[in-house]
Structure 1
Amino acid sequence: MRVIGLMSGTSHDAIDAVGADIVLRDNTIQVRLVGQLSRVYPDELRSELIAALPPGAIDMATVCRLDTAIGQAFADAAAAAQREFFSGAADLVASHGQTVYHWVREGAVKGTLQLGQPAWIAERTGLPVVSDFRSRDIAAGGQGAPLVGLFDLLWLAGHRERAATLNIGGIANVTVTGDRPVAFDTGPGNALIDAAVELCTGGTERFDRSGARAARGKIDADMLETLLAEDYYRAPAPKTTGKELFNRSYLERVLDGRTPAADDILATVTALTARTIADALAPMRPTEVIASGGGTRNPTLMAMLGAYLGPTRLRTSDELGLPSAAKEATAFAVLGFLTAHGLAGSHPACTGASRAAILGSITPGAAGFALPDAPTTMPRRLTLAG
């Protein structure tokens, strides 16, 4: 199948699209990346989206507008990918959509909401669309995240190292391979870093470019210890979190009565991300960590993380042939492929579900949709073709 994978993460900044030729042969999924592109949200849409996120409160009219506008933005990205990568002849779109709320209560996930109406994608491209991946895993008792866990386990099957994959988006998540695999959100990735930039600049800047401000600052030890006292870090895996917890209001509560310099705030929340990732991985003792996501473009964060990890090798997915910026969109392209073939896209050990589940809902394309003949067994590994 020629699959377009679409993803926008918890940084809410852009839609990433990949084109992937995917073949299932024997027990192996073979993936060849044809191309990747990114489409930044229009400023007005991004502003309305961010205003709608917790702790903001919105009405259903705004939800409807966002679902439509995000769906149209995803459709634009899918159409561009279809044209640029496959000359208009793709087979399937896998759209993660835009997460706006992940409902967690007492450690259990009760529901999730991703906006980006898939009908706009199907109508624009003529292709069938797999969307709403997370809800089925939640219905089966899982966390609904991180769904990249199965992809990671297939990708690293047979890898000689005891590896952990790490994605640093707005929220950071890890998958650890081995006899007892596990996947979970470690806590904030870029979420509090971006919130600190917005707070310190009055909203005139969105992120700490290349970690420059954090590099100039000093870590406030007392503030860091206060941040580390958050109960989430001591909760057992599998677990998930989001900007419902780690947002600007959260940071403002921590800063109440404190007056550190702006760059010191940036240094401290950057250290928090690095420290909580390293602390979460320490009990599992991976020999290497393979990082991807926007956080890998922050050299200050990566240097801090490397220091906290100690002897554990830190590298990026690019070194293994998978572009860091394309990893999550590629993973969802594979999950869409599995759904289209009637195969499960989750791993119970990674999400805490009672069983592996076929994920998502299918919106037919212009020619309708018929499931291909389903393989009799799940694939056991994934390879990336050059």
Structure 2
Amino acid sequence: MVRELYIGVMSGTSLDGVDTALVAFEAGEHQASAPHLLATDAYPMPEGLKSALLDVCLGQATTLVQIGQLDHQLGHLFADAVNQLLEKAGIEASAVTAVGNHGQTVFHQPDGDHPFTMQLGDANIVAAKTGVTTVADFRRKDMALGGQGAPLVPAFHKGLFSEQDSTTVVLNIGGIANISVLRPQQVVIGYDTGPGNMLMDAWVYRHLGRKYDEDGAFAASGTVNPQLLSQLMADPYLSRPYPKSTGREHYNLPWLEGQLAALAQEIPEQDVQATLLQFTAKSIAEQVALFSHGGQPRLLVCGGGVNNPLLMRRLAELLPTWTVASTREAGIDPDYMEAMAFAWLARQRIHGQPSNVPEVTGASGLASLGVIYPA
């Protein structure tokens, strides 16, 4: 058996920082064993950089110069995050086979006449500054094959969680919520269900100046508004068939403001937050419930949303026949699941192994995703 080390780097739609994970794989020629998480780190996103990225994500007028500068800044940010993890773990760069760097998504448009996705963060800088071969640009090969380019983690989830007699759904609640559906003897299904923390984070930041609603306290102080909830649940994305994916280009503060403007009367700020939390929980639960199979279906939750106890309680209430728990109970750190997935994606690319699931993304065939940037 050969032991290889990989680092996964993930900066999600929440823009709250860069997660890094050092992962070990013990493998034969091609097939990797279950990953072993050796070390993790969270590297902060500078506020100025976050603000500039939000402007791009929300469609503000920009220039090619600004895009190039952001690409450069993010390249250094990701490299610094990797180097900090290496120092923290006491690992030399030469011991790591590759870095899997997702990059920062600024726009994702998988449908229409000219589908595209754009992730910034120059992987050349990451490879040069860390001294570690870097794999990046994971989404576009799948899109070139007619797929959505997202979600990318269901193939990782499939190998991670042993098959049960009942359905296991792995739910990642980042800025956007996405699910991987693992059913006995059936193909994997995965897609974005809709908003995760994105709308709640935007609203609490506007009114309380906080990056997120800690423990769901702001939402708990309000009451769900039935009219607003009904209006939000009528969003056309939610009823679209999968494969599908979405992001900040759809669910954002201007979108929410439009929803509020359509109401007959103004509602209190805390009631908006309470309704947004219920919207997130309900839009997730309605999709998860479609895949119930067996006597003990389970929903394993990861991502930032797992740390919101009110959101977790609402999911459990809406899915009374399911076991709702953190992925920690299955042995996986919920805060670093996606970073681990990109370490796995990097390994698949280095070994020329497929890493997409055509049934999930809609691609015409299997592909080994990512572009290799040698150290």
Q: Normalising by structure 2, report the TM-score.
A: 0.93
1:203-282 correspondence runs (5 A): 204-256=209-261, 257=263, 258-282=265-289
SS of residue in 2 equivalent to 1:324: coil
Query: Contact conserved, 1:102 with 1:109, CA < 8 A, in 2?
Result: no
1:73 aligns with one of 68, 74, 77: 77
Distance in 2 of aligned mates of 1:109 and 1:349? 22
1:348 matched residue in structure 2: 358
1:99 aligns with one of 77, 81, 105: 105
Moved more, 186-195 or 25-34: 25-34
Distance in 2 of aligned mates of 1:311 and 1:295? 21
Partner deviation per Cα, 1:95-154 (whole Å, 9 max, x = no partner) = 011111001335x88110110101111111111100010111111111111100100111
| Alpha-carbon shift at residue 320 of structure 1 (Å) | 1.0
SS of residue in 2 equivalent to 1:23: strand
2:346 matched residue in structure 1: 336
Partner deviation per Cα, 1:337-357 (whole Å, 9 max, x = no partner) = 010001111111111111110
Query: Contact conserved, 2:34 with 2:160, CA < 8 A, in 1?
Result: no
- Matched to 1:215, the amino acid is A
In angstroms, what is the RMSD of aligned CA positions?
A: 1.5
Unaligned runs of 5+ in 2: none
2:5 aligns with one of 2, 8, 33: 2
The runs of at least 4 aligned residues of structure 1 exceeding 6 Å deviation read: none
| Alpha-carbon shift at residue 27 of structure 1 (Å) | 4.4
Query: Contact conserved, 2:34 with 2:159, CA < 8 A, in 1?
Result: no
SS of residue in 1 equivalent to 2:355: coil
Partner deviation per Cα, 1:212-237 (whole Å, 9 max, x = no partner) = 00011100000000000101111001
1:383 matched residue in structure 2: none
Query: Contact conserved, 2:163 with 2:182, CA < 8 A, in 1?
Result: no
1:15 matched residue in structure 2: 18
1:150 matched residue in structure 2: 155
Moved more, 41-50 or 316-325: 41-50
Query: Contact conserved, 1:3 with 1:333, CA < 8 A, in 2?
Result: yes
1:1-386 correspondence runs (5 A): 1-25=4-28, 27-88=31-92, 89-105=95-111, 110-178=115-183, 179-201=186-208, 204-256=209-261, 257=263, 258-285=265-292, 287-365=297-375
| Alpha-carbon shift at residue 83 of structure 1 (Å) | 2.5
Q: Normalising by structure 1, report the TM-score.
A: 0.91
Distance in 2 of aligned mates of 1:45 and 1:69? 8
| Alpha-carbon shift at residue 361 of structure 1 (Å) | 0.5
Distance in 1 of aligned mates of 2:287 and 2:110? 20
Distance in 2 of aligned mates of 1:262 and 1:189? 19
| Alpha-carbon shift at residue 53 of structure 1 (Å) | 1.2
Distance in 2 of aligned mates of 1:302 and 1:261? 24
Identity of aligned residues (%): 35
- Matched to 1:17, the amino acid is T
SS of residue in 2 equivalent to 1:55: coil
Distance in 1 of aligned mates of 2:322 and 2:336? 24
| Alpha-carbon shift at residue 91 of structure 1 (Å) | 2.0
1:368 matched residue in structure 2: none
Query: Contact conserved, 1:109 with 1:143, CA < 8 A, in 2?
Result: no
Q: Between Structure 1 and Structure 2, how many residues are aligned?
A: 362
Distance in 1 of aligned mates of 2:60 and 2:14? 16
Distance in 1 of aligned mates of 2:90 and 2:348? 20
Partner deviation per Cα, 1:161-188 (whole Å, 9 max, x = no partner) = 3100000000000010121321000000
Question: Relative to structure 1, is the Cα distance of residues 79 and 168 closer, same or farther in structure 2, using a 3 angstrom cutoff?
Answer: same
SS of residue in 2 equivalent to 1:94: strand
